Amino acid sequence: MQDVHISTKPAVMDGLKGVVFTESKLSFIDGEKGILKYVGIPIQELAQNSTYEETAFLLLNARLPTSAELATLDYELKSRRAIPAGLLEVIKLFPKGLHPMHGLRTAVSSLAMFDPRADDVTEAGKLEKAYNLIAQLPTLIAAMYRTQHDLEVVAPRGDLTHAANFLFMLNATEPSPEQTRLFDIALILQADHGMNASTFTGIATASTLSDLYSAITSAIGSLKGPLHGGANEAVMDMLAEIGSPENAESYINGKLERKEKIMGVGHAVYKFFDPRSRVLKEYAAIAAEKHGKSLEYATLERVEEVVIARLSSRGIYPNVDFYSGVVLSDLGVPKSYFTPIFALSRIAGWTASIIEYTRHNSILRPTANYIGPDDAHWLPLEQR
């Protein structure tokens, strides 16, 4: 009778799909039904009623703030917006034409050198640094953009909201209430999203009891990858290739025949409409009409129609990146800075998830099934 070999190696879960390593109160996602909630609150309610500041408090504390608590957070963020003068000089030395995510990663890492308590990994210490990072990422990004384009750096203002202040520092013009609200909504929609790659990366770094600046630097490095951040930039490239709504159907059909990826379409989690894309579509239409980008919006609408007709039966729909590029473009954000804006938004979720996980910290130390040889020996060079 032939011996039967039974493997005792555990199954490999590619990309850690389906692996649960922790519990969280922050984000709930039902990809089959297209539901996203922060601490139990539907994302649509937050987009309609909240602000980024309030949403940041919600994520950091797993509850909505009182009016006094929100006023305190607003004060804390406004008082921390300025970046160290030495770091501003470093940013001015960045080579022209750099990828903005390289610059942001370096700038965030450098912040640690200007913080005498950078290595304080108590919960209070991490919360302090979370405030610093939420407040200062907009200043870093705006300063980097302006120095890269030989423009005078615009200092932050303490009388503007988080969203308005960033647009002011970026464009040197105070935004309208409509522009401010549109950007606020865009930030709320991307503030958190479950255990995504960059959040997991930040937690993995923090689980070693490394400092928060190191953890966020890791998260930024993860976000830079084209499989995570950057899809909205690619959507704008796609729009330029299509040109007009009349070309959308043939363009998409050609992509599908060649089995090429359609940018801004499909999601690893959602098998129905990404709820964030529905909110952004509504506001993208308003912005497009007001700021003369109606052709781009109409082209996106036609692409969406073709995609739904061809791919919805496979659970493939537009995601949050589909309309966000048009929204950011209408707000004066250059295409190459779309991913840094993603980081500017997600910093609330990153820091909240890290603080939540490290309350009951366990170092993340997965294993791998060894599949190499088991009977190898060292040989002298002349015998190899």
Query: Which stretch of DSSP H or E encloses residue 41?
Result: strand 41-42
* Residue 320 pLDDT exceeds 90: no
Give the confidence band of 220 by pLDDT, cuts at 50, 70, 90: very high
CA dist 317 and 305 (Å) reads 10
Q: Does the structure show a pLDDT above 80 at 232? A: no
Percentage of residues of the chain with pLDDT beyond 70? 97
Give the span between the Cα atoms of 275 and 109, in whole angstroms: 33
> Apex CA 72: angle with CA 67 and CA 78, to 5°?
125
CA distance linking residue 231 with residue 237, whole number of Å: 10
pLDDT value at position 286?
79
> pLDDT at position 222, please?
96
Q: Is 237 a catalytic residue?
A: no
Mark whether 321 is an active-site residue: yes
Confidence at 293, pLDDT banded by 50, 70, 90: low
The CA distance from 63 to 69, in Å, is 11
The rounded distance, in Å, linking the Cα atoms of 48 and 38 is: 14
pLDDT tier for residue 292 given thresholds of 50, 70 and 90: low
Q: Is residue 267 among the annotated active site residues?
A: yes
Domains of the chain: 27-226+333-358 (1.10.580.10), 231-330 (1.10.230.10)
Residues 232-244 have a mean pLDDT of: 88
Answer whether residue 191 shows pLDDT above 90.
Answer: yes
- Average of pLDDT values for 361-381? 93
> What confidence tier does 272 reach under pLDDT thresholds 50, 70, 90?
confident
- What are 38's strand-pairing partners? 27, 41
User: Above 60 in pLDDT, residue 305?
Assistant: yes
Ranking 121-135, 209-223, 285-299 by mean pLDDT, the lowest is 285-299
pLDDT of residue 1 exceeding 70 = no
Question: How many angstroms separate the CA atoms of 141 and 185, rounded?
Answer: 19
User: CA neighbours within 13 Å on the CB side: how many for 306?
Assistant: 19
Catalytic residue among 184, 267, 274, 330: 267
pLDDT at residue 291 is higher than 70: no
pLDDT at 227: 80
What mean pLDDT is predicted for residues 110-118?
A: 96
* HSE-up of residue 35 (Cα within 13 Å, Cβ side): 10
In tens, the pLDDT along 153-169 reads: 999 999 999 999 999 99
pLDDT at 223: 94
Q: Determine the average pLDDT of the residues in 24-39.
A: 93
Q: What is the mean pLDDT of residues 79-87?
A: 97
The pLDDT of residue 319 is above 90: no
- Choosing from 192, 211, 274, 321, which is the catalytic residue? 321
The active-site residue, picked from 74, 120, 228, 291, is: 228
3: pLDDT strictly greater than 70: no
**Banded model confidence at residue 235, pLDDT cuts 50, 70, 90:** confident
Q: Residue 38: its pLDDT value, please?
A: 98
According to the model, what pLDDT value does residue 381 have?
96
The pLDDT value recorded for residue 266 is 79
Most confident residue range from 1-10, 164-173, 294-303, 327-336: 164-173
Asked whether the predicted pLDDT for residue 284 surpasses 70, the reply is yes
12 burial level (CB within 10 Å; 0-12, 13-18, 19+): exposed
Strand partners, 265: 318
The pTM of this model reads 0.91
**CA 31 to mean position of chain CA atoms:** 18
CA–CA separation, 238 and 282 (whole Å): 21
Would you say residue 2 has pLDDT above 70? Answer: no
Confidence at residue 262, expressed as pLDDT on a 0 to 100 scale: 86
Mean pLDDT across 352-357: 98
Average pLDDT (56-72) is 98
